[in-house]
């Protein structure tokens, strides 16, 4: 069969989907020179028509055609809505082993949707006439033979960085025009959500892009159009001839649109043309936060914390206990299901009415209700990355439950929502952004897993992300207090890293003194700032408000004053998870951190640096607990703390050697005031190593005293240059 034969035959066909789809596919196999299902797989194990599947909602279905590792294929009748066919495939794809390509066809049009992990979703579309083009014939042949050729070259990370870069430039432009940062941030988030809503079909096809194009030459008109669109999204009223869903949620309650300049409109229009359905919210949130906050602007090009890193904390702290509960529930459900089948086989009672069936249903319904009431708090949430990953883990587990229920003919409604998440953030940019990131992440998960997004309203009112200082309440400056945290079953996050020596410099004397006063002896003065989050989380567990905590800290939390907070954790509970030394991305820099997971002592398993251990000590070791060692009276006055260098007065060895050789007017040598800066490990290496270090490139010399000496000499000897 030639392409023209195929086109002529199927343009004339008026058959229904049921009557035509298999013959259409068989003709396509002949056209492309590909084997037909029954020819190569008579048992239908890897290539077949009518592949039985389980949908994500728990129902059963049939994929029209399936080839293992290549594609899932769904037909519709002529001129039917292919979006519905694609949504069906999204519901089937896990039962189809997640093929790299999802193809939909209405006998006249073809759409090939890529489904490669970690890449931008791309659609190759053409109609029957398009088969006259050899490129489209080759495209279809590759669907059968080499799907990898259709893998998009652009990754999710690349497209996210592109759109974040455009928003960064737009934020800069608005800032230079004197637009208030808070106003600019809110407006940019409204634009961002419109682009995303268009990308996953929550707005009519290309409505936002068309609105921008219509106002490109008339900025005043565009402002009116955007205000009208925001108003319609808030109320659900039509926008011109287009029906609009009611979004609500507070995001579009404010229709104070910023008048844009032509160059700014161009930037927004180019951003809107990107594939927003593929934007990765965790990356975008971080980049967008940096673009909005002038103090973080230098980090825009820096790396971000990956989802895999965040899961290092969330999986053992949040997911592991819930997964255990589900496994136990499923074991009890399997026993009940065995009784259901036994009763049915004996004809005692109908499967839907038996006590065993009711027990089975209740077990699953109760666990779904359990998931609905899980609460998670990030008390330093930034742009919401930890909470975004948390909602995805909860949704993934809920999906597992729904699939199991569907396999046993029990329809259950999904219940997990972003409203189960709570956050606190002192940065107003990040606080607003976190709310939008969470909703985008939730709706995106629904879209790509074939679930229907909530439609009335699309967004619930959501004020769970507080704009507040998490460790010090200064609403009454004269009476500073410890702020209350929202009750949450799980506390996770990445508290700010600020070392002892920088507390007063960064936070100010007044703030630090109030902090010391509020926490008193619970946290030794001049502990690292992150210790305050650990203490508050420990207290929440002790008071019964929280069950499990997973937080990141500086490595310094293992020793000195900082360790006191971990000792208190072990006094009232226990540490069940720790990474003593792990690479991490912080503010765009690769640093080393410690991770600590703790509870009231109920967790039986203990893990340190990825290994199972019997216990984790307060210094994040699992060997002899040296934190319990006592001072030896005989060693009093034997050991001492050496002087601590407080300034950058180091010079290279070469310069030091020259100074040692040069004379001074008063005749005294520079060796009186110029000393090598020697670390303990250097001394432990022995005399030979010590000697080589003094003259080697790794030696540091302190020149502060030397310079003072030379300046004193210059005053006495006016002939000596003071700058020498």
117-162: per-residue pLDDT in tens?
Answer: 878 788 999 999 998 887 888 889 889 988 988 888 777 777 877 8
Q: What residues does 239 pair with on adjacent strands?
A: 242
**Within-domain flag for 707:** yes
**Within-domain flag for 502:** no
Name every residue whose Cβ is closer than 8 Å to that of residue 56 and which is 6 or more positions away in sequence.
90, 91, 94, 399, 402, 403, 449, 450, 451
> Which structural domain, as residue segments, surrounds residue 66?
3-150
With 50 as the cut, is the pLDDT of residue 698 above it?
no
Could you give the percent of the chain with pLDDT greater than 70? 87
Residue range 609-626: mean pLDDT, rounded: 88
CA distance 320 to 297: 37
**What are the structure tokens assigned to 401, written together?**
């439950």
- CA angle, 609 as apex, 605 and 611 as ends, to 5°? 50
**DSSP state for residue 206 in the 8-state scheme:** T
- CA angle, 4 as apex, 3 and 6 as ends, to 5°? 65
With 80 as the cut, is the pLDDT of residue 617 above it?
yes
Q: Whose CA is closest to 199, among 281, 289, 306, 305?
A: 281
Q: Would you place residue 565 in the very low, low, confident or very high pLDDT band (cuts 50, 70, 90)?
A: very high
41-51 confidence digits (pLDDT tens):
999 999 999 99
Contact 710, 664 (CB under 8 A): yes
pLDDT at 685: 61
Q: 142 and 166: one domain?
A: no
The overall average pLDDT reported for the chain is 84
Q: Would you place residue 452 in the very low, low, confident or very high pLDDT band (cuts 50, 70, 90)?
A: confident
CA distance 651 to 702: 7
CA distance 160 to 686: 54
With 70 as the cut, is the pLDDT of residue 713 above it?
no
**Within-domain flag for 338:** no
CA distance 560 to 527: 9
**Within-domain flag for 190:** yes
With 60 as the cut, is the pLDDT of residue 500 above it?
yes
**Within-domain flag for 66:** yes
**What are the structure tokens assigned to 304, written together?**
């971000």
Higher pLDDT: 55 or 658? It is 658
Q: 146 and 10: one domain?
A: yes
Q: Would you place residue 27 in the very low, low, confident or very high pLDDT band (cuts 50, 70, 90)?
A: very high
**What are the structure tokens assigned to 570, written together?**
């072990």
Q: 143 and 171: one domain?
A: no
Q: 182 and 273: one domain?
A: yes
Q: 171 and 138: one domain?
A: no
**Within-domain flag for 627:** no
Q: Would you place residue 484 in the very low, low, confident or very high pLDDT band (cuts 50, 70, 90)?
A: very high
358-395 confidence digits (pLDDT tens):
999 999 999 999 999 999 999 999 888 899 999 999 99
Residue 448: count of CB within 10 angstroms of its CB: 15
Q: Would you place residue 587 in the very low, low, confident or very high pLDDT band (cuts 50, 70, 90)?
A: low
With 50 as the cut, is the pLDDT of residue 714 above it?
no
Among residues 90, 120, 150, which one ends one of the domains? 150
Name every residue whose Cβ is closer than 8 Å to that of residue 687 and which is 6 or more positions away in sequence.
none
Within 13 A of 217's CA, how many CA atoms are on the CB side? Answer: 1
**Within-domain flag for 179:** yes
Q: 64 and 162: one domain?
A: no
Within 13 A of 434's CA, how many CA atoms are on the CB side? Answer: 32
With 70 as the cut, is the pLDDT of residue 558 above it?
yes
With 90 as the cut, is the pLDDT of residue 102 above it?
yes
Long-range contacts of 31-36 (CB under 8 A, 24+ apart): 31/1, 31/2, 31/3, 31/5, 31/6, 31/131, 31/137, 32/137, 32/140, 32/141, 32/144, 33/141, 34/141, 34/144, 34/145
With 90 as the cut, is the pLDDT of residue 79 above it?
no
Q: 93 and 194: one domain?
A: no
511-528 confidence digits (pLDDT tens):
999 999 999 989 999 889
Query: Edge-to-edge strands of the sheet including 47-54?
Result: 47-54, 60-67, 71-75, 101-105, 109-114, 123-127
Q: Would you place residue 586 in the very low, low, confident or very high pLDDT band (cuts 50, 70, 90)?
A: low
Among residues 126, 150, 174, which one ends one of the domains? 150
Higher pLDDT: 646 or 468? It is 468
**What is the Cα Rg of the chain in Å?**
33
Q: 9 and 134: one domain?
A: yes
Q: 11 and 64: one domain?
A: yes
Within 13 A of 7's CA, how many CA atoms are on the CB side? Answer: 13
Contact 671, 707 (CB under 8 A): no
Q: What is the CATH number of the domain that holds 127?
A: 3.90.1570
**DSSP state for residue 660 in the 8-state scheme:** H
For residue 6, the surrounding DSSP H or E stretch is helix 3-12
The residue ranges of DSSP E strands in 442-573, in sequence order, are: 465-467, 490-493, 548-554
CA distance 281 to 284: 5
CA distance 425 to 380: 5
* CA dihedral sign, ordered 89, 90, 95, 97: positive
CA distance 382 to 429: 9
| Phi-psi category of residue 642: left, alpha or beta, with phi > 0 → left and psi -120 to 50 → alpha | beta
Q: 141 and 192: one domain?
A: no
Contact 206, 242 (CB under 8 A): no
Within 13 A of 708's CA, how many CA atoms are on the CB side? Answer: 7
Q: 124 and 194: one domain?
A: no
Distance of CA 55 to the CA centre of its chain: 27
**Within-domain flag for 609:** no
The residue ranges of DSSP E strands in 419-467, in sequence order, are: 421-425, 465-467
For residue 437, the surrounding DSSP H or E stretch is helix 428-448
- CA angle, 257 as apex, 254 and 262 as ends, to 5°? 160
- For the chain, how many structural domains are there in total? 3
Q: Whose CA is closest to 293, among 412, 177, 181, 434?
A: 181
Name every residue whose Cβ is closer than 8 Å to that of residue 152 and which is 6 or more positions away in sequence.
114, 116, 119, 120, 121, 122
Among residues 120, 150, 180, which one ends one of the domains? 150
Concatenate the DSSP letters of all residues of 228-275 into one string. HHHHHHHH---BTTB------TTTTS---PPPPPHHHHHHHHHHHTS-
User: Any idea which residue has 């008193």 for tokens?
Assistant: 520
Q: Would you place residue 280 in the very low, low, confident or very high pLDDT band (cuts 50, 70, 90)?
A: confident
Name every residue whose Cβ is closer than 8 Å to that of residue 281 and which is 6 or more positions away in sequence.
384, 388, 437, 440, 441, 444
Q: 85 and 180: one domain?
A: no
């Amino acid at each position: 069969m030639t392409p023209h034969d195929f086109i002529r035959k199927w343009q004339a066909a008026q058959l229904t989907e049921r009557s035509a789809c298999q013959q259409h596919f068989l003709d396509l196999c002949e056209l492309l020179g590909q084997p037909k299902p029954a020819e190569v797989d008579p048992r239908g194990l890897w290539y077949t028509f009518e592949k039985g599947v389980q949908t994500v909602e728990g129902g059963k279905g049939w994929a029209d055609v399936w080839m293992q590792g290549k594609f899932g294929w769904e037909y519709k009748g002529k001129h039917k809505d292919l979006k519905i066919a694609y949504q069906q495939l999204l519901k089937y794809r896990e039962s189809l082993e997640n093929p790299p390509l999802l193809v939909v066809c209405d006998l006249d049009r073809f759409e090939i949707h890529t489904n490669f992990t970690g890449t931008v979703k791309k659609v190759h579309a053409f109609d029957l006439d398009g088969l006259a083009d050899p490129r489209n014939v080759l495209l279809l042949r590759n669907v059968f033979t080499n799907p990898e050729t259709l893998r998009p070259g652009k990754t999710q990370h690349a497209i996210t960085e592109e759109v974040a870069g455009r928003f960064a430039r737009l934020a800069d432009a608005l800032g230079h025009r004197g637009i208030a940062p808070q106003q600019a941030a809110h407006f940019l988030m409204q634009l961002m959500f419109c682009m995303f809503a268009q990308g996953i079909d929550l707005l009519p096809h290309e409505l936002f892009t068309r609105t921008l194009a219509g106002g490109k030459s008339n900025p005043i008109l565009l402002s009116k159009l955007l205000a009208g669109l925001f108003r319609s999204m808030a109320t659900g009223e039509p926008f011109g001839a287009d029906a609009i869903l009611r979004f609500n949620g507070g995001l579009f309650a404010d229709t104070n649109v910023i008048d844009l300049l032509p160059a700014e409109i161009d930037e927004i229009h180019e951003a809107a043309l990107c594939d927003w359905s593929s934007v990765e919210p965790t990356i975008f949130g971080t980049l967008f936060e940096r673009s909005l906050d002038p103090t973080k602007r230098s980090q825009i090009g820096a790396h971000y914390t990956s989802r895999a890193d965040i899961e290092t904390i969330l999986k053992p702290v949040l997911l592991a206990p819930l997964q255990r509960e589900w496994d136990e529930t499923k074991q009890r459900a399997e026993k009940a299901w065995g009784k259901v089948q036994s009763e049915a086989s004996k004809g005692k009672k109908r499967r839907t009415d038996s006590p065993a069936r009711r027990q089975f249903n209740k077990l699953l319904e109760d666990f779904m209700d359990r998931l609905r009431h899980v609460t998670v708090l990030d008390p330093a949430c930034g742009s919401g990355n930890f909470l975004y990953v948390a909602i995805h883990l909860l949704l993934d587990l809920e999906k597992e439950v729904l699939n199991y229920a569907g396999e046993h003919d029990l329809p259950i409604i999904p219940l997990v929502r972003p409203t189960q998440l709570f956050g606190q953030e002192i940065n107003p940019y990040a606080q607003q952004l976190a709310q939008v990131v969470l909703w985008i992440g939730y709706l995106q998960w629904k879209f790509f897993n074939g679930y229907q997004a909530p439609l009335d309203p699309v967004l619930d009112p959501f004020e769970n992300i507080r704009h507040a200082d998490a460790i010090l309440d200064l609403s009454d400056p004269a009476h500073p207090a410890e702020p209350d945290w929202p009750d949450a079953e799980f506390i996770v996050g990445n508290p700010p890293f600020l070392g002892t020596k920088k507390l007063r410099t960064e936070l100010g004397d007044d703030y630090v003194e109030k902090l010391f006063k509020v926490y008193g002896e619970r946290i030794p003065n001049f502990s690292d700032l992150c210790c305050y989050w650990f203490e508050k989380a420990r207290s929440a567990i002790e008071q019964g408000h929280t069950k499990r905590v997973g937080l990141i800290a500086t490595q310094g939390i293992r020793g000195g004053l900082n360790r006191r907070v971990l000792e208190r954790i072990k006094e009232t509970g226990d540490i069940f998870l720790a990474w003593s030394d792990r690479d991490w991305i912080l503010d765009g820099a690769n640093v080393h951190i410690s991770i600590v997971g703790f509870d009231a002592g109920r967790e039986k398993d203990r893990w340190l640096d990825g290994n199972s251990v019997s216990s984790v000590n307060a210094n994040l070791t699992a060997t002899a607990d040296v934190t319990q060692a006592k001072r030896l009276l005989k060693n009093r006055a034997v050991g001492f703390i050496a002087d601590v260098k407080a300034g950058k007065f180091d010079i290279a060895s070469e310069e030091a050697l020259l100074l040692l050789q040069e004379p001074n007017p008063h005749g005294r040598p520079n060796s009186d005031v110029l000393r090598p800066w020697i670390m303990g490990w250097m001394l432990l290496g022995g005399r030979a190593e010590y000697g080589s270090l003094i003259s080697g490139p790794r030696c540091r010399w302190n020149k502060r005293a030397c310079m003072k000496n030379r300046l004193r000499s210059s005053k006495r000897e006016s002939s000596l240059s003071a700058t020498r």
